[in-house]
Amino acid sequence: MNRLQRILFLSMLLTGAAAVHSFAGEGVELLHAGLVSLAVVSMVFLKGRLPFAVVLTLILGYGFSLAGYAFVQGWSGPEQYTMILHHLLLTITLLTVWLLYSDIRYILEENTFLKQELKHWKKYEDDSFLLTREEFLYQAGALDTAAVRKGEQNALVTLKQRARIPKDIRSSLQKETAQQALETVRNRFDLVTAEGGTIYLLLPGTKEQGVEAVWSRLSEKIRSTSAYREIPFTIEADYTTDTQGLMKKEEENVS
């Protein structure tokens, strides 16, 4: 039985228990409704195992109360059986509510997790780990702010495909080179994105010597996989604390 089927079964069981309560007498029905409401409130406001502890306490407390009341009244026979049935009915109801709560809580937590995963993967292009342009600019803004605070500049490295590259291989060439760039830069510090035949690398707090080192490693990777004698990209490096403005300016110049 999967989780959805179990929820449907428990809902039917809870509906049946509610119907049986209508035959238990008005006093018993109100008492049980109050105890179930208390259990539900504990599930809403308490965390971890505390709601189950409340349910268990209500079940045991109600059972001992009935036993004590029956002893004081000197009940035996039919009256005792009635008390046992009342206790069994409340136990089934509380446990059903608890199981429903557990399943619904699991589904909500799983849904929250999936939303977080979806939000995380929306930052990247397709199945690669290239940032989308929006995410690149968003993270670049935070890095630019940090650079201003430290009195540094970030290096924006722009790789542009040469005009002579055939159109039918531009897309695959960009994707392959962008992946090589990802393998070259620092995983948790540098940013990479690509669009329209251009690859952008943002290297926080990196000076000219650091840019040259990155380009040296990247160019070796490109040469090892490229059929061209000359690297099919031009490279430009600018040092800025306004990455978004610089990229926009470059794109306006191209257009």
Domain termination residue (choose one: 121, 145, 174): 121
- Position 127 scores a pLDDT of 57
- Position 209 scores a pLDDT of 93
117 and 138 in a single domain? The answer is no
Residue 26 lies in a domain: yes
At 75, the amino acid letter reads W
84 and 182 in a single domain? The answer is no
101 and 167 in a single domain? The answer is no
Residue 126 lies in a domain: no
Query: Tens digit of pLDDT per residue, the chain (255 long)?
Result: 677 677 777 777 777 777 676 666 667 778 888 888 888 898 888 888 888 999 999 999 988 888 887 777 776 777 777 788 888 888 888 899 988 888 888 888 887 777 776 665 555 556 566 888 888 898 999 999 999 999 999 999 999 988 787 888 888 888 888 889 988 888 778 999 988 888 999 999 999 999 999 999 999 888 888 766 778 888 999 999 999 888 888 776 665
92 and 152 in a single domain? The answer is no
- Position 203 scores a pLDDT of 94
- Position 118 scores a pLDDT of 63
The total of other beta-carbon atoms located within 10 Å of residue 214's CB is: 21
140 and 248 in a single domain? The answer is yes
59 and 87 in a single domain? The answer is yes
- Position 2 scores a pLDDT of 72
222 and 163 in a single domain? The answer is yes
Residue 174 lies in a domain: yes
93 and 186 in a single domain? The answer is no
Domain termination residue (choose one: 64, 94, 121): 121
* Domain range enclosing 11: 3-121
pTM (global) more than 0.85 = no
Domain termination residue (choose one: 93, 121, 149): 121
198 and 233 in a single domain? The answer is yes
78 and 153 in a single domain? The answer is no
CATH number at residue 140: 3.30.70.270
70 and 158 in a single domain? The answer is no
189 and 245 in a single domain? The answer is yes
User: Structurally, how many domains does the chain consist of?
Assistant: 2
The total of other beta-carbon atoms located within 10 Å of residue 51's CB is: 22
Residue 127 lies in a domain: no
Residue 162 lies in a domain: yes
Residue 201 lies in a domain: yes
